Structure 1
Amino acid sequence: MGVERAGFRPLLFNEFAKYACETLDVNVSRRHKADRVRVPASDDGFVAVGPYEVPPPGAVVPIVEGDVQGIGMGNLNGRVDVLAGGPPCQPFSLGGVAKGDEDKRNMFPQMFRAVREIQPKAVICENVRGLLRPSFKPYFDYILRELEFPFVERKAGSTWQEHDDVLRAMEERRDVRADERYDVIMTPVNAADYGVPQIRNRIIIVAFRSDLNVDLDTFRKLITPQYSEGALYRSILSGDYWRRHNDVPGHVMDRVNAGVPKNLPLDDGTKPWRTLRDAIEGIEDGEGNKLPSLPRISWEKLDRVEYEVGGFKYHVGWPGARIYDGHTPNEYDRPAKTVKAGVHGVPGGESVMLTDERERDSESPTGFRYKHRYMTVRETARVMTFPDEWELAGPRGEQMRQLGNAVPVLLGEVFAKAVGAALDEAESHA
């Protein structure tokens, strides 16, 4: 969705997870005709379906459900501007098993195969910050070199270290054809720095085909963060934040104001980080539309039943939320914590939120404690900057898993717009 909002037309979708495919199907069908195809299971890399032709505007957009190893993409060669995706991150995630290169879920080799078959002008790849951990850093550097030289395939039976030696030698010689080489930019990001109401640390890899002579410095300027924590603190202290949310109880404002650090960075012209309160009360979406405020969830309706709450789907109260040491909730006046998919479902603290309402508590120093509840799926989708009309397939756990596995729409849009602008500029100078 982020790439499409940046002005690109989708030509082919692939997704492995069943419910995610159903979600993609219903939402894509609303905007385009969609043709859903299932890939037979394959353990040996056999190309079972395709290759696919480029659909003309308004025609069917194939949604291929299944293992990417079973998809042929050769007919798309030279006809694609952007290849965008996220190879599964579990091999490298702190929340996963972290086997890295040995993990069979490592799909980076398939990304390189797609680049070889399609030869796109640009590649956008999102993944977890865990790739930068010291234990994975050598392999991650190898991944970046593979993307730089995707046509230099690893020989059967060789180790990644042996292949990396080959790539390093080519890097030094610089004798690879420009149309088979890519200029690679890796950017560590916090989604909050790009207007997403969520602390989400990731890496985004962008690669441009070298024969296009894209101005990489111009691209880097286009992805410069425009939001900051310091600006949020200044807006809280100045009252600008509270004027935007003028119905917040005084005890909440006092508590939040008291928590602002004494020494703030100098004003650098950035905008305030967006908060969970901003998301729930309604911020501008990626197309400049002001979202409506989500209705309050009644404490008497934490019963898993989907009532007609203001016409918002998936805005359902859920019982059983708990907070304790190491299992802390989201706060309204900060960006939300990272939305996670979780190995065994959604972790607790990241999907629990403190509210403005409080009740007596004799054990609390203030005599009160703030009430908490689970975030609804719709609130979580707001935090991921999906539009309210975005539908989600499956039960609640699967819906939350999809959101945790997704890229925030606004973050994807920022980077895709920068890629589009850089390609346009390069074309104008060609």
Structure 2
Amino acid sequence: MNTVELFVGAGGLGMGVSRAGFKPIAVIECDKYSCDTIRDNRERGVDLVADWPLTEGDVREFDYSPLAGKIEMVTGGPPCQPFSIGGRHKAEADARDMFPEAVRAVRELQPKAFLFENVKGLTRSTFTSYFEYIRLQMMYPEITPQPDEEWSDHLTRLERYHTHGRPNELHYRVVTRVLNAANYGVPQRRERVFFVGFRADLDVEWAFPESTHSYNALLWDQVKEGNYWEHHEVPKRERWISERAKRRAEKLDEVPAHKPWRTVRDALVGLPDAETDPEAAEAFHNHKFQPGARTYVGHTGSPYDLPAKTLKAGVHGVPGGENMLLRHDGSVRYFTVRESARLQTFPDDFRFHGSWSETMRQLGNAVPVTLAEFLGRDIGDHIASCAANNDH
């Protein structure tokens, strides 16, 4: 099954769907450093990107016509900068917002499905109307904005089209949901909104897959049974659990059905500490100690025995200390790039190009590979099932 990968960045979403069985026919990214990362790994023969047909450039200039009719899925994380709902935002004319380009790809390629990801902030009440505008554009990609038409007027036309209904024309059945990556086996509490659409003529019945991991299961493992600590050979003096977590654990009456959330400690198994053992750390790509971490009010880092906080594209200025590790004794240090890659479930043989701050930006913008694979596999199964039914 073929895909077109838009706004690919360092490749987390694309690598995940490739692992799920899709083959990228076009991979598009404008950021030089991200492209250097992909090219470096491609030249080194890293499995998931070895055959990626990368285009470094503006997606607005990409010609999809040679690929029309050959694509099963379009994926990407369109950049969507803050904007004023009350201003003269003109949808496709606004250079800050790349959702119109995602819609153009769907319109011109007419894939069987698409998978788009964006920040949770897009679901805030402030952006309710624009969120609906994005969704309706994805549902009816052929209803394009008119010259000089403001997005709110285009939204009105889309609403009228939606309620009137023209089932024989190109349209997609679209569902959206905010997912926490920790609930799908990623060692990071990362919440993002996902848009998934299937072409309506396929008549696919689909819902977001049920979560596989939970906080309650981790608490059961840590507090009720203690297996977590024994597995990691953690001395009792270092087994830190908050009183609030203990109270929650005591209310659990039976073993949770889910797997435990994966923690920072789980993610870093096998990695030497780059601060205390820099020589051993040299055996791993991008695993170099970065000095300068410190705590202050509201800036405390990610506890060792919970999933990490959401990695962000900022570095020193990230307000919650998301890019720092918080040890049991209260000390902190920055995550190395390799550790951050583990938290985003990138494979260890994948090397990031650029300075520490630049590579952390790439990682902060990425979709966890494991989550992308999980969603991609489920979407792919439904596409394949639909094809098999049509064959009969």
1:225 corresponds in structure 2 to: 211
Change (3 A) 1:61 1:374: closer
1:381 corresponds in structure 2 to: 341
Question: Where in structure 1 are there 5+ consecutive unaligned residues?
Answer: 35-57, 93-98, 282-292, 302-306, 359-369
Instruction: Please say if 1:279 is aligned against 2:248.
Output: no
**Among candidates 168, 173, 188, match of residue 183 of structure 1:** 173
Secondary structure of 2:126 counterpart: coil
**Among candidates 208, 233, 236, match of residue 250 of structure 1:** 236
**In 2, Cα distance between the equivalents of 1:72 and 1:249?**
59
Assess if the C-alpha contact under 8 Å between 2:190 and 2:309 holds in 1: yes
2:294 corresponds in structure 1 to: 322
Which residue identity lines up with residue 66 of structure 1 in the other structure? G
**In 2, Cα distance between the equivalents of 1:211 and 1:343?**
45
Q: Identify which range, 378-387 or 24-33, moves more after superposition.
A: 24-33
Q: Which digits, 9 at most, give the CA deviation of each residue in 1:383-419, with x for residues without a partner?
A: 0000000110111111111000110001111110110
Instruction: Please say if 1:161 is aligned against 2:152.
Output: yes
**In 2, Cα distance between the equivalents of 1:133 and 1:33?**
35
2:190 corresponds in structure 1 to: 200
Change (3 A) 1:235 1:427: same
2:11 corresponds in structure 1 to: none
Question: Where in structure 2 are there 5+ consecutive unaligned residues?
Answer: 1-14, 84-88
**Among candidates 372, 382, 392, match of residue 422 of structure 1:** 382
Change (3 A) 1:298 1:129: closer
1:117 CA displacement: 1.3
**Among candidates 18, 23, 34, match of residue 37 of structure 2:** 23
Identity of aligned residues (%): 41
**Among candidates 48, 58, 61, match of residue 70 of structure 1:** 61
1:5 corresponds in structure 2 to: 19
1:207 CA displacement: 0.5
* TM-score, normalising length: structure 2: 0.87
1:89 CA displacement: 3.5
Secondary structure of 1:157 counterpart: coil
Instruction: Please say if 1:342 is aligned against 2:314.
Output: yes
1:33 CA displacement: 11
1:353 CA displacement: 1.1
Assess if the C-alpha contact under 8 Å between 2:285 and 2:338 holds in 1: yes
When the two chains are superposed, the root-mean-square deviation of aligned CA atoms in Å is 2.4
Secondary structure of 1:75 counterpart: helix
**In 2, Cα distance between the equivalents of 1:100 and 1:186?**
23
1:240 corresponds in structure 2 to: 227
1:355 CA displacement: 2.5
**In 2, Cα distance between the equivalents of 1:168 and 1:11?**
34
**In 1, Cα distance between the equivalents of 2:167 and 2:148?**
24
**In 2, Cα distance between the equivalents of 1:377 and 1:61?**
23
Secondary structure of 1:202 counterpart: strand
1:342 CA displacement: 2.3
Assess if the C-alpha contact under 8 Å between 2:141 and 2:171 holds in 1: yes
**In 1, Cα distance between the equivalents of 2:281 and 2:377?**
35
Q: Which digits, 9 at most, give the CA deviation of each residue in 1:195-241, with x for residues without a partner?
A: 0000101011111011111122xx43xx1111111111111011121
Assess if the C-alpha contact under 8 Å between 1:86 and 1:125 holds in 2: yes
**In 2, Cα distance between the equivalents of 1:197 and 1:176?**
42
1:162 CA displacement: 1.4
Assess if the C-alpha contact under 8 Å between 2:272 and 2:280 holds in 1: no
Secondary structure of 1:144 counterpart: helix
Matched residues, number: 366
Instruction: Please say if 1:311 is aligned against 2:283.
Output: yes
Which residue identity lines up with residue 121 of structure 2 in the other structure? G
Change (3 A) 1:183 1:396: same
Which residue identity lines up with residue 335 of structure 1 in the other structure? P
**Among candidates 365, 368, 374, match of residue 408 of structure 1:** 368
Instruction: Please say if 1:269 is aligned against 2:257.
Output: yes
Instruction: Please say if 1:131 is aligned against 2:107.
Output: no
Q: Which digits, 9 at most, give the CA deviation of each residue in 1:169-195, with x for residues without a partner?
A: 2212221425x1001010110000010
